[in-house]
Amino acid sequence: MFTGLISELGKVSAITKGESSAIFTINAPLLINEIRLGDSVAVNGVCLTATAITGTSFTADVMVQTLSLTSLSQVSVGSAVNLELAAQLNARMGGHMVSGHIDGVATVVGLTQGEKWLQFDIKVPENLSKYIVNQGSIALDGVSLTVGEINEANLVTVWLIPETLAKTNLAAKQTGDLLNVEVDVLAKYVERLIARGQESK
pLDDT tens digits for range 119-141: 999 999 999 999 999 999 999 99
Give residue 171's pLDDT: 93
Q: What is the mean pLDDT of residues 178-197?
A: 84
How many Å apart are CA 106 and CA 154, to the nearest integer?
Answer: 10
In tens, the pLDDT along 53-100 reads 999 999 999 999 999 999 999 999 999 999 999 987 666 667 788 999
Q: Against a cut of 0.85, is the pTM above it?
A: yes
Q: Are 68 and 62 in contact (CB under 8 A)?
A: no
Give residue 143's pLDDT: 97
Q: What are phi and psi of 77, to 5 degrees?
A: -60, 130
Topology given in CATH for the domain delimited by 104-186: Elongation Factor Tu (Ef-tu); domain 3 (2.40.30)
Give CATH for domain 8-85.
Answer: 2.40.30.20
Q: What are phi and psi of 128, to 5 degrees?
A: -100, -15
Identify the band that residue 10 occupies on the pLDDT scale cut at 50, 70 and 90: very high
Q: Tell me how crowded residue 17 is: count the other CB atoms within 10 A of its CB.
A: 12
How many Å apart are CA 110 and CA 123, to the nearest integer?
Answer: 9
Residue 155 Cα to chain centre, angstroms: 18
Q: Where in the chain is the domain with CATH 2.40.30.20?
A: 8-85, 104-186
